[in-house]
Structure formats: structure tokens, C-alpha cells
Amino acid sequence: MPGELSPIDKAKFVAAKRACDYVEDGMRVGLGTGSTAAWLVRCLGEMVREEGLKIRGVPTSTRTAELAREVGIEVISLDEAKWLDVTIDGADEFDADLNLIKGGGGALLQEKIVATASDQMVVIADVGKEVGQLGAFPLPVEVIPFGWQTTRALVEETLISMDVLGRDVSLRMNGEVPFVTDEGNHILDLHLNRIGNARQLAMVLNQMPGVVENGLFIDICDAVIIGYGDGRVEVRDINAGTVETDKLDFLESDNLFSDLLD
């Protein structure tokens, strides 16, 4: 239960709980992927079962779809939904302008498609995900399997002219074999340390043959909810230019999340 969670998981939980305020009856909701987004799915499932909330969820990965169905959320495809009221997802990094690095869980392509097909994108994160400048977290780039080594060489060559500190590029592995995304692609992780011009890098990467999408989310996020280990939450809305703070109490009797795995 929340009272027994580590500080980092408490931070994720309160951010997810606060994000539920953005969801109203009848909405079509994009459901993110990752440990923080899993807290959100559990919280929304509780509202569906106990409060009669009626929503339709569009998941950004097969594992999110499985969890959503497990907790009682109606799952539909993006083609069925056509457009979404809100997408709520985590992030691997975010900066002061709410630009993001996403894709640590390997779902960046579907996450970006769903996020951009929404009236609003809300990011939920623990305070450790905030950075002064993007790039400490490896930047994922989804590439097609055909000729991926050539694509990697092109990426490495291009990084020479980019404003970055590091240029190491590695193929993401799943044990002894390459990691495969839900769309059947591979992921190159770019170890850049610092990204001086994220907008430029995102545009250049996506112009390369073989690159499907990159994990830089520029001008997509509308608000970020930052969770702290003591139950505090901070909500930054970049469009309204507002910052709100609140604190959520942990209920010792609430054991809904005791079996949630990261």
C-alpha cells in the first residue's frame, strides 16, 4: 500500500493520483507506458470500478493495454477513438519548457502518435526527472531492422555536427537479441550527455532514411505533474503559465497498489 512504498514510488503514485483530476466522464484518454503511467492506469481503474467513471482508454503499448483491461478500463484503438481528450504519460526527462525525452520503455513511437492526437498531453513524473538541459538520459531512436547498422553509422556521422557532448550510439538489447518494439522495429540509444538544440536534433534525426521516430517530444507537453516522496505534488501548466502545489495524504488502508510491479 502507498504507506509502505519507497519515496520514489510514493512520488510516482501522488503524481498519478493528481493526474486523475484531468479525466472526466465520457473522455477518450491516452494511457502512457512505464512505471509511473502504470500507477495512473491503476488509479483510473479504481475510479471505474468504485465510482462508475466511464472512459475509453487508448494504450500506447501492449503491456499498458493488458493492464488497462485487467483493472476494468475499456480499451479501444486510436483509429476507433480518432481523437483524444487527454493523454497522460510519464517521461524519462523534462526541462523548464516541458520538452521531453521519452522511450526508455521502448514505446516512443506509439506514445508520440497518441500524444499528438490529443487536445492535451499531461506528463506525470517524480522530481528526479527534471533536468536543466536534456540529454543525460540516452535518447531513443526507433529504426527499422533493415540496414540498421547503416542507419546507426548515419546517425553517428550526423552527431558530429550537432551540439551534443557525447556521440556513442548503441543498439538496445533484450538479453542476447535486439530489443523489438511493438511495431517490430529496433531502438538505437544515443548517449549524448547534453543536447544543446533539441528541436534541431529532432528534425535532423527524422530526416534520415531508416529512422522511424525519435524520443524528443518538443512542444507536445501541456502540463507536468511532479510528485515528491512526502506526498507533495506540483502542477506546472505551460499554456496558462501557472504553478500549483498540493499535498496528498496516504491512506494506510489503501492496498490497491501493493501488487504493482515496475
Tell whether residue 147 is among the known ligand binding residues. Answer: no
Tell whether residue 103 is among the known ligand binding residues. Answer: yes
Handedness of CA 169, 174, 178, 180 (dihedral sign): negative
The one-character DSSP state at 249 is P
Tell whether residue 3 is among the known ligand binding residues. Answer: no
Tell whether residue 82 is among the known ligand binding residues. Answer: no
Tell whether residue 16 is among the known ligand binding residues. Answer: no
Contact status, residue 138 vs residue 191, Cβ threshold 8 Å? yes
Q: Which residue among 46, 111, 142, 213 is the active-site one?
A: 111
Contact status, residue 179 vs residue 158, Cβ threshold 8 Å? no
Tell whether residue 36 is among the known ligand binding residues. Answer: yes
Tell whether residue 106 is among the known ligand binding residues. Answer: no
Tell whether residue 79 is among the known ligand binding residues. Answer: no
* C-alpha cell of residue 96: 523548464
Backbone phi, psi, residue 89, to 5°: -150, 165
Handedness of CA 113, 116, 117, 123 (dihedral sign): positive
Tell whether residue 92 is among the known ligand binding residues. Answer: yes
Catalytic-residue membership of 111: yes
Q: How do 56-59 and 74-75 pair as beta strands? A: parallel
Tell whether residue 230 is among the known ligand binding residues. Answer: no
What does the alpha-carbon distance between residue 87 and residue 245 come to, in Å, rounded to a whole number? 21
Backbone phi, psi, residue 189, to 5°: -100, 120
The one-character DSSP state at 238 is T
Known binding-site residues equal: 33-36, 89-92, 102-105, 129
Which positions are catalytic? Answer: 111
Known binding-site residues for substrate equal: 33-36, 89-92, 102-105, 129
